[in-house]
Amino acid sequence: MKVSKQARRDGKTLFNACCVNGVLDEAKVRQTVTAVIAQKPRGYVSTLTHLQRLVKLDLDRRTARVENAVESTPAQMDAIKAALAQKYGPGMNVTFWVNPALLGGVKVKAGSDIYDGSVAGRLAALNDTL
């Protein structure tokens, strides 16, 4: 379904209205969607479709997955969270996973960025160059 320019504009306006200090507020999104559905303005389905797309993109951008070969200490977790918040802004949702296949080091996927500082990643890169 193609979304018209007006629906994109309205969806972006609604999205910006749901942000508080640059961070998406889930409660405001729910209130906004409920209000739009109740009013049923012209083209509201495509407007809500675009709003959904923007919310999903923002959620993906503010989600980080950190993989370690061994369990991280709380100090390491806090340091990683602070570094990600400094680089990507407040409101990052960080999850930590233990992946023994990494052999050592850390692999971080934040939004669409991937930082691979693992031994397995370095071995794979070395294997590709040979």
Dmax of the chain from CA atoms?
A: 63
One domain for residues 49 and 87:
no
Q: How far apart are CA 128 and CA 83, in angstroms?
A: 30
Q: Is the same domain home to 68 and 18?
A: no
Query: Residue 123 has what pLDDT?
Result: 84
Residue-wise pLDDT for 10-30, tens only, equals 999 999 999 988 888 899 999
40 and 71 inside one domain: no
Burial level of 53, CB count in 10 A (0-12/13-18/19+)? Answer: middle
Going from the C-alpha of 129 to that of each of 46, 101, 115, 123, 125, the distances in angstroms are 48, 21, 19, 10, 6
* Average pLDDT over the chain, rounded to an integer: 90
DSSP β-ladder status, 63-68 and 93-98: parallel
* Pair 66, 123 in one domain: yes
What pTM value is reported for the model? 0.71
Phi and psi angles of residue 93, each rounded to the nearest 5 degrees, phi first: -100, 105
pLDDT digits (tens, 9 = 90+) for 50-64: 999 999 999 988 899
Q: Are residues 92 and 110 in the same domain?
A: yes
Domain count, the chain: 2
Q: Which of 64, 59, 68 shows the shortest CA–CA distance to 118? A: 68
One domain, residues 24 and 47: yes
Report the relative pairing of strands 106-110 and 63-68 from DSSP bridges.
antiparallel
Assess contact for 91 and 24: CB atoms under 8 A: yes
Please state, in angstroms and as integers, the Cα–Cα distance from residue 15 to each residue in 26, 55, 66, 95, following that order. Answer: 11, 7, 28, 25
Q: Which domain holds residue 32?
A: 5-60
Please tell me whether residues 72 and 120 are part of one structural domain.
Answer: yes
Q: Do both 9 and 46 map to the same domain?
A: yes
pLDDT in tens, 77-93: 999 999 998 998 888 89
Same domain, 44 and 83: no
Verify that 56 and 70 share a domain, yes or no.
Answer: no
